[in-house]
Amino acid sequence: MKPNLRKALIFISLVLFTGITFTALFVAIPHTERVFKNSRFDLNLKEDEYWKKSYIVELKIKQDDKASKQEKIDRTKNVIYKRLSNYGVEKIDIGDFKKKEEKKDGDYIYHYLRVTVETTKDQSSVEQLVTNRNYIRLMTQKEDIDFNSSENQYAYILPTSYDPTSFTRYYFRNVYVAKLKNNQGEDSYFAIFKTWPHKTKEFNKFLEKNKGKYVGIKTDTFVTPFSVPLTTSNSTVFAIPVANDEDSAEVVSLLFNSGVIPVEITKDSEVDHKPDIVKVDYNQVLLSSIAAALAVLVLMFIRKKESRNEVWEFAVAGVIVFAYSVAAIKIMNLPVDLFLITLEGFITLIMIKALTFNKNIRLIMTAGLLCVLITLNYLSAGYIREISRDLGLLLLLSNIAVLIAEVYINNMKKIILK
Amino acid sequence: MNSLLIALKIDTTYQIYSFAALVIGLILVSTLLVHFITKETKLTLLALASNLIFFIFATAIIAAGGKFLNSELSSQLNLAYWLAYIFNVVNVATLTGLFYLHKHKKKFDPDHVTREHFNSTLNLFVIVIIAGCAFAVFMPTSIIMVIAYVITMTIISIWSNHFIARKVLVDQRSK
């Protein structure tokens, strides 16, 4: 008998695939990590990392701006929300706050905001985003101040050592935070200030006037000096060092680029809260998924509207998606919200069903869903952004799984029914 | 209006603009995609109507419950709002796909397309209810609320899709 290489290869591939899928399934189901003493691959749940806090911030509005008070308050709320949502804070509540004892000052009106956040993000970064105004103003060195004097070694960062100029954040189109080499040859993050095209000429004149001198960027309480080169041109890069690590650089970028808070802002107080996160048990989630999948399978078998082949393909595709996605999450130790995974599981089940039983229009369905999910990902915030990103990946995995399941069932049938 | 802002967890004008941009973006993307695939004006209008009906109904239902929602529940319902929208997209994508498939056949019968779509709609309806109920048994109340809202909105949107499809694609031709 002549050996059939193609059949042998198919047989080996089927055995290998079955083996790998069973291993992935074994990794994916709960409690299996207890079997191994040396390796841990339990789900890394985010629910214990959540913290919730309310910040009361004080807005100091000039009496002269009384007429535009509400507009300034609204702009402040917008900037804080934009900063937090772009940083990836999961839940944000911003509202007005009435203090029992109202502060009175002839020149200023005081208004309070309560910003409540519930997130797993770094606490100090979130606090910076809520409480820092980060108002930029360019300063020039005072004639009588010597930065090299031993009497005041910190003169170069003190606002009192500089004279203010009219250049503020409004002169710059955006502030690009990029990783560059510093004077010591080490990687550091720099803020590169890009002017509006119609302001460039004026800004270049300013640099030309101050060439060889120190100018500074004042942000809230301190100044970062910048030594203007002796020869300046239109391509002179105005960049100041802002951070040493990526996370701080992201925060700085958000502070610079989320809009300008129009009033002075300070933290008044903060209150810790118990996070109200939906706690779901992984065993429950798995039971729910199995119950849902079984219910759908039983219905299909009873109705007999779909072919047996397709029903088996649906079952195998479901197992593939579940096993490989959860095993990947466990092995890569990715932090996850279990209640989000539950909802994603529910939607993915319906997506697999739609893809399996509408093979002719699979491409159109995938394209449509993918476009909608990408739009949702780019234009939404918080959990919706997370869900749309995950569902996009699960949709692609479901497509691959449905294709594999089709080939797998056809070949298995040939081998088993031979 | 106030209860709608509470239900959708909208505190700032930036969020109102973001929400509007998201809704307009989704309507544009899905409608243009249907037009690009089928080159059929009626189906494009159907996709547009489906989107509008979904957003009007989903927003109205959520706004009706706005007064009774606490922060936790409104954040869960906000999630359900978009999950229900994904089911609506699945349903419209099925109709678009079926239309595209049948359009290239020698005997194009829109009645056949809508019947097949009805079959698929019924299927989706039954599966969403069965899978949703099976899921809900083991879940905490807040997730059950999400699933219940998703099921309600899915039923409204997919039935309205079928109704419009019959009206636009079949009744118009038979006149």
- Tens of pLDDT, residue by residue over A22-55, are 999 988 888 777 777 666 777 888 888 899 999 9
pLDDT at A131: 92
| B82-101 residues touching A, CB cutoff 8 A | 82-83, 85-87, 89-90, 92-94, 96-98, 100-101
Tokens of residue A318, six digits = 């479901």
B135, A276: Cβ pair inside 8 Å? no
Share of chain A above pLDDT 90, in %: 27
- Interchain CB contacts (distance < 8 Å): A and B: 164
Chain A residues within 8 A of B101 when measuring between CB atoms = 360-361
The set of residues, in sequence order, having a beta carbon less than 8 Å from that of A302 and lying 6+ positions away, is: none
H or E element at residue A163: strand A162-168
pLDDT digits (tens, 9 = 90+) for B141-167: 777 877 788 888 888 888 888 888 888
A226 DSSP β-pair partners = A215
Ranking A14-18, A370-374, A377-381 by mean pLDDT, the lowest is A377-381
Range with the lowest mean pLDDT among A13-27, A32-46, A355-369, B98-112? A32-46
Rounded to two decimals, what is the model's pTM? 0.83
Give the pLDDT score at B7. Answer: 67
Structure tokens at A1: 């008998």
Q: Quick one: average pLDDT of A389-403?
A: 94
Tokens 């409690």 identify what position? Answer: A31
Terminal Cα distance for chain A, rounded = 17
Amino acid A404: pLDDT: 94
Q: Chain B residue with minimal CA distance to A380?
A: B22
DSSP A316-350: HHHHHHHHHHHHHHHHTT-EE-HHHHHHHHHHHHH
- What CA–CA distance (Å, rounded) separates A95 from A112? 9
Contact A402, A352 (CB under 8 A): yes
Residues facing A93 on adjacent strands: A116
Report yes or no: A228 and A208 within 8 Å, Cβ to Cβ. no
Q: Which helix (H) or strand (E) holds A176?
A: strand A172-181
- Cα–Cα distances (Å) from B29 to A181, A372, B90, in that order, read 42, 7, 14
- Picking from A92-101, A202-211, B1-10, which range would have the lowest pLDDT averaged per residue? B1-10
pLDDT at A55: 94
Among B13, B15, B90, the residue with its CB nearest the CB of A369 is B90
CA–CA distance, A396 with A394 (Å, rounded to integer):
5
Structure tokens of A246?
């990526």
Instruction: State which amino acid sits at residue A219.
Output: T
Rounded Cα–Cα distance for residues A373 and A196 (Å): 34
Which residue in A81, A279, A299 is closest to B11 by CB distance? Answer: A81
pLDDT at position A3 is: 66
> Does position B74 have pLDDT exceeding 80, yes or no?
no
State the DSSP string of B71-99: HHHHHHHHHHHHHHHHHHHHHHHHHHHHH
Query: Is residue A260 over pLDDT 80?
Result: yes
Of A179-188, A335-344, B68-77, give the lowest mean pLDDT range: B68-77
Residues comprising chain A, all counted: 418
pLDDT at A384: 87
Smallest CA–CA separation between A157 and chain B, in Å? 35
Task: Tell whether A296 is within 8 A of chain B (Cβ).
Answer: yes
State the smallest CA–CA distance between residue B143 and chain A in angstroms: 8
Q: What's the average model confidence in pLDDT over A135-151?
A: 81
- Nearest Cα of chain A lies from the Cα of B158 at a distance, in angstroms, of 14
Q: What is the mean pLDDT of residues B32-52?
A: 88
User: pLDDT class for B171, splitting at 50, 70, 90?
Assistant: low
Most confident range, picked from A222-236, A364-378, B55-69? A364-378
Query: What pLDDT, on a 0 to 100 scale, did the predictor assign at position B173?
Result: 55
Q: What is the pLDDT of residue A240?
A: 83
- ipTM exceeding 0.95? no
Residues within 8 A of B (CB atoms), A 65-84 only: 74, 77-78, 81-82
Q: How confident is the model at residue A209 (pLDDT cuts 50, 70, 90)?
A: confident
Residue B103: other Cβ atoms inside 10 A: 15
Min CA distance, A183 vs chain B (Å)?
41
Beta bridge partners of A180: A188
Per-residue pLDDT for B46 more than 90? no
Distance CA A241, CA A226 (A): 9
Rg (CA), chain A: 30
